[in-house]
A and B are shown apart, each in its own frame.
Chain A
Amino acid sequence: MKINIKYFAALREQANKSEEIIDTTYSTPGDIYTELKSKYNFSLNVDELKVAVNDCYEDFDYELKEMDTIVFIPPVAGG
């Protein structure tokens, strides 16, 4: 299944890209983060993140569909 991933802040820097399409056998954001964490050596653990699918906050066990867009959200710091 193809999934679009967008990266922001610390994750963007560690992945060294702001967006990519991955082909994965996993179907939840949680499993995909584990896969990407080992690929890019992300410093943040999954329990430090939130996740958005198609611009809505979702759970890490959300069932993804082909070409969904995922954003893993590091701790926010606006203001």
Chain B
Amino acid sequence: MFEISSSSIEEYKSKSFVTPECGGVVTFEGRVRNHNEGQTVESLEYEAYSGLALKEGEKILEQVREKFDILDAFCVHRVGHLQIGDLAVWIIATSKHRREAFRACEFIIDEVKKTVPIWKKEHYADKSIDSKWVFCTEEHHH
């Protein structure tokens, strides 16, 4: 399942996805970092086009189930104004053997960055620099 949340997603970390046949559990936490491309970042604003983001997110989770031998996969993405250290995205993949869960988890975060309509605006410590919407150009054209 893919979710978007406008409040803290820390509590998802205590949700149990573990079943008796599960031998490997891999989680990924994406957190707000205090720097980007040489600038000190003070905070990040995330915005999502939910109607499409949820559909694209579910598509990624369907793909990951087809590609890898996993038991379960889940991803939640935060929106709103986040501070340094805040959890922006949380992913879990479970499998019988560890390798598939590692691969699945990495696949999900890579694809989320490419296809899910979520944007982020960086606010900088240096107030002479305007806040800006950032993106990775080469990932948008694939």
Q: Using a CB–CB distance below 8 Å, which chain A residues touch chain B?
A: 6, 8-10, 12, 48, 50, 52, 55-57, 71, 73-79
Q: Using a CB–CB distance below 8 Å, which chain B residues touch chain A?
A: 30, 46-49, 51-52, 55, 77, 88-89, 109, 112-121, 133-137, 139-140
Known A75-B135, A75-B137; contact A8-B49, beta-carbon cutoff 8 A: yes
Known A55-B55, A73-B49; contact A79-B112, beta-carbon cutoff 8 A: yes
In Å, the complex CA distance between A55 and B115 comes to: 13
In Å, the complex CA distance between A74 and B137 comes to: 10
CB neighbours of A78 from chain B (8 A): 46, 48, 77, 89, 112-113, 116, 118-120
Q: Which of B30, B47, B48, B52 contacts A79 (CB 8 A)?
A: B30
CB neighbours of A77 from chain B (8 A): 113, 118-120, 133-136
Q: How far is the CB of A32 from chain B (nearest CB, A)?
A: 17
Interface of chain A: mostly helix, strand, loop or mixed? mixed
Known A8-B49, A9-B47, A57-B52; contact A79-B113, beta-carbon cutoff 8 A: yes
CB neighbours of B52 from chain A (8 A): 52, 55-57, 71, 73
In Å, the complex CA distance between A8 and B52 comes to: 12
Q: Name the residue on B nearest A76 (C-beta).
A: B117
CB neighbours of A79 from chain B (8 A): 30, 77, 88-89, 109, 112-113, 118
